[in-house]
Structure 1
Amino acid sequence: MGRLDGKVAVITGGAGGMGKIHAKVFVEEGAKVIIADLGVSKGKDTAEELGDQAKFIELDVTDEESWTRLVEETEKHFGPINILVNNAGIVVSKSIEETSLEDFRKTTAINQDGVFLGMKHVLESMKKAESGSIVNISSIAGIVGSANNSAYIASKFAVRGLTKAAAVEFAPHNIRVNSVHPGTIRTPMTEQEDVKELVQAMAQMIPMKRIAEPIEITNLVLYLASDESSYSTGTEFIADGGLIQQM
């Protein structure tokens, strides 16, 4: 018996990266999963790879009509939504001086507005399901500051605040809302030759002396999506190997 049997999940940015890993594990645990992404080709490939329990729906997380369509299509195909993982996001690594207003607004539109719109538009569907779990992917950049990431940090702090506000509002409907705050994760990007040495140096600053494996973040997201975390809401779940404890 799977930990998500009978659940319907929407994962934004689900066509690749961490979103794809979340989707794969959710399907393995019995959920029906909507792969929500702007990347049509990758999204369709991911859904096909995961089989009948997965379906791709094109989604622009910054567009309200796109969210409305997604909820309608999901309910027609799989039924009311039980789980939303707001995973889609971008990073702009520039100093404040170098960051244009366009850079800032694009980052907050995807990372912040996308989370707000997702929570807003799945609410009625989760009410129909009579329960729900929303997992908002933030970052340790939503807990502590650092140089040259102002737009990203602002957006990830906002996700943390939005999570807490929604948790209080949605609790009477048996809908939980939590945020996940990963540190550095092993991905194809962190494995590239031009950043390998930097990542290794960063790992030595972490008390556990290593960066996270992707499945370690997925396992946390899975726990929050499942009924195992039924009394947890409005909380930050940090997965950074202890890094911010010494900041």
Structure 2
Amino acid sequence: MAGRLEGKVAIITGGVSGMGLTAAELYVKEGAKVVVADIQVEKGLAMEKRLGGAMRFARCDIREEEDWKAAVAMAVDAFGGLDIMYHNAAAVGDNTPLDEISVTGWDDTQAMLVRASMLAIKHAIPPMRKRGGGSIILTSSASCMALGGSGPYAYTIGKGAVIHMGRYAALQLGKDLIRVNVIIPGAYPTSIWSGHVGGDANMGDAMDLDLSRFARMQALPVAGDTKNIAEAAVYLGSDASAWVTGVALPVDGGLSLFRNSYASAEGQLGAVADAANALKND
């Protein structure tokens, strides 16, 4: 029986860790050829070796247009085209409060979140038009859906912009049979959380997060798993969602329905801080 993505070519950004890694592995399992675009070169090359001919690694800083061009060219040259652009990569960025954030910090964060999403769409369009259509999947965050103070200022605003960008692009690209949808993740144990305490991806990979505090904030009191996001990304990339576009899909256990006050946000970030401190003390 053929996989759900048999014959499709995808680019997945941020695909060497966290949600992107789980999605890339599932995409390959479901029959897709995948270009993983990420800045973590050592991990990417090791992943390419492990997954064999179904996957290629492209070193990509998502803020840089030339890197996007190179990743798309790799997909076309290695696998013959592009059917799915799953833009998952991001970082917390500048997490200083409203009255302290600098112009540089604000601009750098928006480049990581908003500019990168614009570039994902822009450079997916030409090869998808040649294929007669395709699926673009962007990534937002529950932090911009139910405001409870748990998301950093610049990050929350940027992720909100991504939702509107996806809806606008879906309206404009429908005539080309290019679908654009947005996944809204909730709390998952991925490396991005280290940014809340000034850490990097390596710290995030090593952190052992207790997500019980996160789960208590959700309608479904169960900790999230990156497999939940990967399954949503497979659905939105597959022909099963051929009539789905312009959707912002929460995959968050109901976190975006209601976020319990700022006290709960402090508890959430406390879980991250506790994990980081434990790691530093080891």
1:184 paired with 2:187, answer yes
SS in structure 2 of the partner of residue 22 of structure 1 = helix
Percent sequence identity over aligned pairs: 34
Distance 1:9 1:208, change over 3 A: same
1:226 paired with 2:238, answer yes
Do 1:62 and 1:114's aligned partners in 2 also have CA atoms closer than 8 Å? yes
SS in structure 1 of the partner of residue 117 of structure 2 = helix
Do 1:167 and 1:177's aligned partners in 2 also have CA atoms closer than 8 Å? yes
Distance in 2 separating the partners of 1:143 and 1:204: 17
SS in structure 1 of the partner of residue 63 of structure 2 = coil
* Alignment-derived partner of residue 168 in structure 1: 171
Distance 1:56 1:30, change over 3 A: same
SS in structure 2 of the partner of residue 52 of structure 1 = helix
Distance in 1 separating the partners of 2:68 and 2:205: 31
> TM-score when scaled to structure 2?
0.82
What pairs with 1:1-247 in structure 2 (closer than 5 Å)? 1-92=2-93, 93-147=95-149, 149-187=152-190, 189=204, 192=207, 196=210, 199-247=211-259
Displacement of 1:110 after TM fit? 1.1
The residue type paired with residue 87 of structure 2 is N
Distance in 2 separating the partners of 1:229 and 1:27: 19
Distance in 1 separating the partners of 2:206 and 2:221: 16
Do 2:124 and 2:136's aligned partners in 1 also have CA atoms closer than 8 Å? no
Displacement of 1:190 after TM fit? 9.5
SS in structure 1 of the partner of residue 216 of structure 2 = helix
SS in structure 2 of the partner of residue 133 of structure 1 = strand
Structure 2 regions of 5+ residues with no counterpart?
A: 192-203, 260-282
CA RMSD of aligned residues (A): 1.8
Displacement of 1:64 after TM fit? 1.4
Do 2:18 and 2:189's aligned partners in 1 also have CA atoms closer than 8 Å? no
Do 2:187 and 2:252's aligned partners in 1 also have CA atoms closer than 8 Å? yes
Displacement of 1:191 after TM fit? 8.6
Displacement of 1:206 after TM fit? 1.4
Distance in 2 separating the partners of 1:146 and 1:113: 25
Distance 1:159 1:102, change over 3 A: same
SS in structure 1 of the partner of residue 20 of structure 2 = helix
Structure 1 regions of 5+ residues with no counterpart?
A: none
* Alignment-derived partner of residue 201 in structure 2: none
Q: Deviations over 1:100-138 (max 9, x none)?
A: 222221211111111100110110000011120011011
SS in structure 2 of the partner of residue 184 of structure 1 = coil
Do 1:61 and 1:67's aligned partners in 2 also have CA atoms closer than 8 Å? yes
